[in-house]
Structure 1
Amino acid sequence: MPEEFDAGTGKAKNIMDSFIEALYGRSEETIPEEYDWFAPLLGDWEFDYKDKFIDGDRSRPQRQLKGEWIFRRVLNGIGIEDMFICPSRATRETSPQPDGEYGVGLRIYNSKTHCYDMVYACKSKFTNLCFTMENGILTGTVLENPNRKWRFVERNENTFHWQNITIQENGDIIVNCEAFGKRK
């Protein structure tokens, strides 16, 4: 691991330790409790991912994968960062996927709109979203296409259910993929 010289202590210091320390910062508790919607998700998760449903039937997925999702508070507590890994590091060798994702999301609480502005980045794309709470469902609307949404339909201290959906012109919802998580 690369090292740098710490002028304050006169000792060598791991560069990644310095980066992580600055990324996390110190919590200033700037997100009001009533808007701290991602708090139950903080920590390390494993999940079952399902997509490519046969004839649109969610009980008949063509593909099921194991994944990881890691959530942390960052930037002195004003943001929530996550890392989405699918297939998981433990299964990527035995179950490689050409469209697998190793991505990172950054959500910043917006005190003017009481939502979270988010950017998600992975190998081939950036996606911008705005997360709001709608009837107890944490919903991220894709800004480039408001009919596409990422949502946590259930979330608590030990489990979550996430969906990537498309809302059709007639109001019908198509579930493109979903993940069922449990805390590690």
Structure 2
Amino acid sequence: MDNFIETLTSKDKNAALPEEDNYFGKLVGSWKLDYFDRNISSSVKGEWHFAWVLEGMAIQDVIILPSRETTTETPHPLAEYGTTLRVYNPAAHAWDVAYGYTGKIIRLEARKQKDMIVLTNIEDERRKWVFVKIEDDCFHWQNVTVKDDGQWHVNADIYAERIQ
């Protein structure tokens, strides 16, 4: 197992990844989070861990809802244990993204839009995941559906604080 982890993970980004396209680098580390689902009026505490992988040309994460320290025997309606692989695409100057959890894989493309990172679902461009703000010690993420009139309906928010 040590060989797998050693060959998967990287200490830093690859020099071939341009700094202007390094959208996700600030996320590397561990975060505690509050997840708020606006559609079902429910919330949960969670954790999200990010690392450089694949010779520094990708970032992978693991999101855990509820967090391991707050999980209970009773299943939470927002329970999820998933991983995202974000691989830099130099031809597109964007990121190819795959998110998976039990029974589901979602493909997205990530691009910078003003100060936000917008991940658009490949199968349904109305579905977006948005890093609204990423700072050194906190970030804000949203799950969004674009309505017919172009307005964004926010389905869920994550507010995260760095723990490592």
* TM-score, normalised with respect to structure 1: 0.83
Structure 1: runs of 5 or more not aligned: 1-15, 55-61
* Deviation for aligned residue 1:96: 2.9
Other-structure match for 1:127:
106
Other-structure match for 1:11:
none
| Aligned equivalents of 2:146, 2:152: Cα separation in 1 | 5
Other-structure match for 1:33:
19
**Does residue 112 of the first structure (1) align with residue 97 of the second (2)?**
no
Aligned residues: 162
Matches within 5 A, 1:96-107: 96-107=75-86
Identical amino acids, percent of aligned pairs: 39
With a CA cutoff of 8 Å and minimum separation of 6, indicate the structure with the bigger relative contact order: 2
* TM-score, normalised with respect to structure 2: 0.93
* Deviation for aligned residue 1:70: 0.5
Superposition RMSD in Å: 1.5
Runs of 4+ in 1 over 6 A off after TM superposition: none
- After superposition, the C-alpha distances for 1:48-104 in whole angstroms (9 at most, x for unaligned) are 0001347xxxxxxx2111011101000100100011111111111266314511000
Q: Specify the structure having the higher radius of gyration (Cα).
A: 1
Structure 2: runs of 5 or more not aligned: none
| Aligned equivalents of 1:53, 1:169: Cα separation in 2 | 18
**Does residue 178 of the first structure (1) align with residue 164 of the second (2)?**
no
Other-structure match for 1:154:
133
Note closer, same or farther for the CA distance 1:64–1:95 as it changes in structure 2 (3 Å cut).
Answer: farther
Indicate the structure with greater helix content. Answer: 1
* Deviation for aligned residue 1:30: 2.5
